[in-house]
């Protein structure tokens, strides 16, 4: 392939040789290879200052991360064969772990495919292109997916915030076959419908599935599922006999919870409103739970939001702790990469001290196994779930 070259400055290849996939704009020798002359999404040959081949990369010339390595094999430039091999490799990990055929099939850098997310719902695939390169190679991605999985339908959910950083338009588009508005998914014996066209992200949060399974061994009598979305935490507990209460700011989300409860013969209670406000109202009304799950959206989306976000996590955990009976279980989650695990634990401890409670940390979960982290890219390891018991010490 006759591809343009992107040359790095002297000694700027060390991090990439150690396994990282991202190239930053200040690492590029712009005198030798003018970065701004590249088209967004263009595939380039990345070379060191000595002219050594480092990999094929997708260019994002207007971003701080100006290129992402896709292939380090000089004989395997990105194309249908390349994508098919990586997708097959990803499938081989997931199939034994999740034999129902429902899982995150591709997790960007964690699967060596920066900018691509793919969720599988049996014979339906929902994809997201987060970079200009994946956007430019959509047809190759779809052809590779067809080759590996022969799906009944493929949907692009290209309406996420990450696309704004790349200057890409937001849209939802059917790529192949048929994809309904909602697709069935079963978890811990409970039947759900994932809203793949209109729901959050690609319709379902697979990243918490292993943590929701972890919760199953703690027998709940009454559970609060805050920031519940489709209610997977609470409904699976309800199927085991718990009385379940759900809180979400979205009326649509609570409708999905109610519909799933009805399909499974479960009775639930729902409250619409800001999570922390509803929790405080429940406390004032004398409501108490033996399990409280706090699974909020990211409070810290950018590094500069760290201070305010950390304070928000502490306030939320304090409110949740006040609802718990002695011996109760708090499951405190954060999907903010910019909040470290120890910082979340500290926020929980400060919340406990403020409310006059004491907690024991029982176990700590991360994202499910279908969201593999890249060892050189800590941003791929973002999810924390801390399981705590309230005790008198």
Residue indicated by tokens 């309904």 = 180
335 catalytic? Reply is: yes
CA distance linking residue 218 with residue 237, whole number of Å: 9
* Residue from 66, 102, 333, 335 carrying the catalytic annotation: 335
- The conformation of residue 8, written as its DSSP 8-state character, comes to B
Q: Is 344 exposed, middle or buried (0-12, 13-18, 19+ CB in 10 A)?
A: buried
Sorted by sequence, the CB contacts under 8 Å of residue 92 that are 6+ apart come out as: none
Report the C-alpha gap between 20 and 18 in whole angstroms: 6
Cβ–Cβ contacts within 10 Å for residue 277, how many?
13
CB 222 within 8 A of CB 275: no
DSSP string, 359-393: EEEEEEE-S-TTSPPBTTBGGG---EEEEEEEE--
Q: 242 vs 79, 91, 279, 378, CA distance in Å?
A: 50, 35, 19, 37
| Residue count of the chain | 393
Distance CA 117, CA 107 (A): 5
Q: How many whole angstroms separate alpha carbon 208 and alpha carbon 332?
A: 12
11-16-17 Cα angle (round to 5): 85
The residue with tokens 């997790």 is 107
Torsion of CA 107, 109, 112, 114, to 10 degrees: 100
**Which residues are annotated as catalytic?**
335
């Amino acid at each position: 392939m006759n591809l343009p070259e992107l040359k790095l400055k002297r000694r700027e290849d060390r991090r990439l040789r150690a396994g990282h996939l991202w190239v930053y704009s200040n690492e590029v020798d712009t005198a030798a290879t003018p970065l701004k002359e590249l088209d967004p999404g263009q595939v380039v040959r990345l070379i060191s200052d000595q002219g050594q081949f480092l990999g094929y990369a997708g260019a994002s010339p207007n971003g701080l991360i100006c290129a992402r390595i896709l292939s380090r094999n000089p004989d395997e430039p990105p194309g249908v064969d390349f994508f098919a091999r990586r997708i097959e490799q990803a499938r081989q990990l997931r199939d034994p772990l999740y034999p129902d055929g429902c899982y995150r099939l591709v997790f960007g850098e964690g699967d060596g495919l920066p900018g691509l997310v793919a969720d599988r719902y049996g014979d339906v695939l929902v994809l997201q292109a987060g970079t200009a390169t994946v956007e430019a190679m959509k047809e190759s991605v779809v052809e590779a997916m067809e080759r590996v999985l022969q799906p009944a339908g493929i949907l692009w959910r290209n309406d996420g915030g990450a696309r704004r950083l790349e200057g890409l338009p937001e849209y939802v588009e059917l790529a192949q076959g048929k994809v309904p508005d909602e697709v069935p998914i079963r978890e811990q014996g409970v039947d759900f419908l994932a809203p793949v066209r209109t729901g959050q992200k690609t319709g379902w949060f697979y990243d918490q599935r292993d943590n929701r399974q972890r919760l199953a061994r703690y027998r709940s009598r009454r559970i609060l599922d805050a920031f519940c979305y489709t209610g997977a935490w609470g409904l699976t507990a309800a199927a085991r006999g718990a009385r379940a209460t759900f809180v979400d700011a979205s009326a649509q989300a609570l409708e999905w919870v109610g519909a799933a409860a009805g399909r499974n013969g479960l009775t639930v209670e729902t409250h619409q409103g800001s999570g922390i406000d509803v929790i405080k109202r429940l406390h004032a009304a004398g409501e108490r739970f033996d399990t409280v799950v706090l699974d909020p959206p990211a409070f810290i989306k950018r590094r500069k939001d760290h201070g305010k976000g950390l304070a928000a996590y502490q306030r939320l955990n304090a409110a949740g702790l006040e609802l718990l009976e002695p011996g109760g279980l708090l499951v405190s989650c954060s999907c903010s990469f910019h909040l470290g695990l120890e910082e979340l634990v500290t926020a929980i401890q400060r919340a406990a001290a403020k409310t006059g409670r004491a907690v024991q940390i029982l176990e700590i979960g991360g994202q499910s196994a279908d969201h593999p982290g890249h060892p050189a890219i800590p941003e791929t390891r973002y999810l924390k779930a801390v399981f705590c018991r309230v005790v008198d010490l």
